[in-house]
Amino acid sequence: MVAQAPAQLAREEVAELYRRPLLDLVFEGARIHRAHHDPHVVQCSTLLSIKTGACQEDCKYCSQSAHNQTDLEREKLLAIEQVITAAKNAKAGGADRFCMGAAWRSIKDNKDFDRVLEMVREVKSLDLETCGTFGMLTPAQAQLLKEAGLDYYNHNLDTSPEYYEEVITTRTYDDRLTTLAAVRDAGMKVCCGGILGMGESEDDRIGLLHQLAIQSPPPESVPINALVPVEGTPLENVPPLAWDQMVRAVAVARILMPESMVRLSAGRHAMSEEAQAMCFMAGANSIFLGDQLLTTPNRGKDRDQELFDRLGLEGINESEPAVVVEV
Ligand code: SAM
Ligand code: DTB
Ligand code: SF4
């Protein structure tokens, strides 16, 4: 048995789970999933990059880091109207949560932040859940976001504490944990996960899952991303991850964090439908919906609708057809 009390959970216990025969692991994930959630319902988020590129951080996977030579077009902070239009379209397309991402190292107290607060207020008023990912923040900034109506703040641990320095050197694991504590203290829900397939070992994947599960309380939302290789980043040629690793990570996340939403996140467009189906079986109950993640392509709504139909799944917001506005 795996200890349920997070503080007592040992990394070896996570390793034991992760390395179980795959079908035993999936079966256990499915059992826990069905005890805590409706297995036919999938939470659907849509992403929008509200400020793109020229980020000071040196994350080796990221198209938006100024340290990487990618041919991404930089874009200043969007106008509020552009964000409202995108949020309306996301809702019309079936999303129940709208996530705004900014390529900032940290939030600065300036006019741009005021505009972001207004964006949050506007999106919230559309009766959508709101999520933001704007880099590091202070307790006071977290409070302002909470008051504006931000439901979730996304800030990922990305990988194990040991492998972290191989991927990012401009901020530490502890910096990330400090931001997460500020988010939690302000009363927002935490969205925190990581990326698999960055050349890390299986033990690093286990270390990441252990770190996520020992947070108290665990994150309400756990995005499991597979690296989207981006030309011009140091990780562009890392060999793709074996499909079972995503399934294992999803199942372990589900077993260790039974109440959380586990999101099959970036990299889904490169996975077969069969592998995705196994992830849903193992406990994934959330996805990013739409043609675009932040700067890279996503599977697109139509293909996802077909997949949902085939598997008997439905989004939280099975929306009636609505008029799509040109962005
Ligand atoms: N700048 C903020 C930050 O890093 O917290 C927010 C935006 S950042 C793009 C959000 C998350 O996206 C990162 O923490 C990382 O886990 C994920 N991500 C970025 N690029 C990715 C890629 N190429 N493949 C998979 N996940 C990626
Ligand atoms: C998360 O864990 N995945 C999302 C969200 N949080 C912000 C981001 C994925 C980004 C994928 C690469 C891109 O499109 O730039
Ligand atoms: Fe900047 Fe976030 Fe990309 Fe890192 S992941 S370079 S912090 S946008």
Among all ligands shown, which has an atom nearest to the Cα of 294?
2
Question: Quick one: pLDDT band at residue 2, thresholds 50, 70, 90?
Answer: very low
Task: Say whether pLDDT at 112 is over 50.
Answer: yes
Q: How many domains does the chain have?
A: 1
In this structure, of 79-83, 91-95, 226-230, the range with the lowest mean pLDDT score is 91-95
Residue 128 domain-assigned (yes or no)? yes
Distance CA 139, CA 303 (A): 41
Token pair for residue 157? 């641990």
Whether 20 is covered by a domain: the verdict is no
Q: What is the mean pLDDT of residues 197-201?
A: 97
Whether ligand 1 lies within 6 angstroms of the CB of 155 is answered as: yes
| DSSP symbol at 8 | G
CA proximity to 212, closest of 222, 203, 202, 204: 222
Q: How far, in Å, are 142, 146, 173 from residue 187 at the CA level?
A: 9, 7, 22
DSSP for 56-125?
SS--TT-TTBTTS---PPPB-PPPHHHHHHHHHHHHHTT-SEEEEEE--SB--SSHHHHHHHHHHHHHHH
Query: Which percentage of the chain shows pLDDT scores above 90?
Result: 85
Q: Is residue 129 part of a domain?
A: yes
Span from the CA of 64 to the centroid of ligand 1 (angstroms): 9
CA proximity to 61, closest of 265, 272, 258, 291: 265
Please tell me the predicted confidence (pLDDT) of residue 227: 96
Cα 31 from Cα 14, distance rounded (Å): 18
- pLDDT at 28 exceeding the cut of 80: yes
Residue 193 in contact with residue 142, Cβ under 8 Å?
A: no
DSSP string, 148-205: HT--EEE---BS-HHHHHHH--SS-HHHHHHHHHHHHHTTPEEE--EEE-SS--HHHH
Q: Map tokens 């996805």 to a residue.
A: 287
Residues marked as catalytic? 55, 59, 62, 99, 131, 191, 263
- Reported pTM: 0.92
- Is pLDDT larger for residue 69 or for residue 202? 202
The C-alpha atoms of residue 188 and residue 174 are separated, in whole angstroms, by 19
pLDDT at residue 1 tops 70: no
Closest CA to 193 of 253, 131, 273, 127: 253
Question: Does the Cβ of 50 fall within 6 Å of ligand 3?
Answer: no
Give the residue-averaged pLDDT of 47-55.
Answer: 92
Give the integer Cα–Cα distance in Å for 113 and 144: 10
295 within ligand 2 shell (Cβ under 6 A) = yes
d(CA 251, CA 165): 26
Whether 318 is in a domain gets the answer no
Instruction: Examine residue 36 and state whether it is found in any structural domain, yes or no.
Output: no
Q: What is the CATH number of the domain that holds 127?
A: 3.20.20.70
pLDDT at 317: 78
Residue with tokens 């400090």: 178
Q: Average pLDDT, stretch 230-235?
A: 94
- Tell me the CA–centroid distance for residue 227 and ligand 1, in Å: 10
In this predicted structure, what is the pLDDT of residue 94?
86
Residue 232 has pLDDT above 80, yes or no: yes
* pLDDT one-digit tens code per residue, 169-198: 999 999 999 999 999 999 999 999 999 999
Across the range 84-95, mean pLDDT stands at 92
* Structural contact between residues 154 and 223, judged by C-beta atoms closer than 8 angstroms: yes
Q: Which residue range(s) make up the domain with 205? A: 43-308
- Rounded alpha-carbon distances, angstroms, from residue 294 to 50, 257, 272: 9, 26, 22
Element (H, E) at 226: strand 221-226
- Please report the atom of ligand 1 found closest to the CA of residue 235: 23
- The tens digit of pLDDT for each residue in 286-317 reads 999 988 899 999 998 888 999 999 999 998 87
What is the per-residue pLDDT for 72?
86
Tokens of 56: 């000071």
- Does the residue 327 lie in any domain? no
What pLDDT is stored for residue 71 in this prediction? Answer: 87
Is residue 83 scored above 90 in pLDDT?
yes
- Rounded distance between C-alpha atoms, residue 114 and residue 229, angstroms: 33
Within a domain: residue 27?
A: no
Pocket test for ligand 3, best of 57, 167, 179, 192 (most atoms within 8 A of CB): 57
Q: Which amino acid is at 155?
A: H
Q: Is residue 12 part of a domain?
A: no
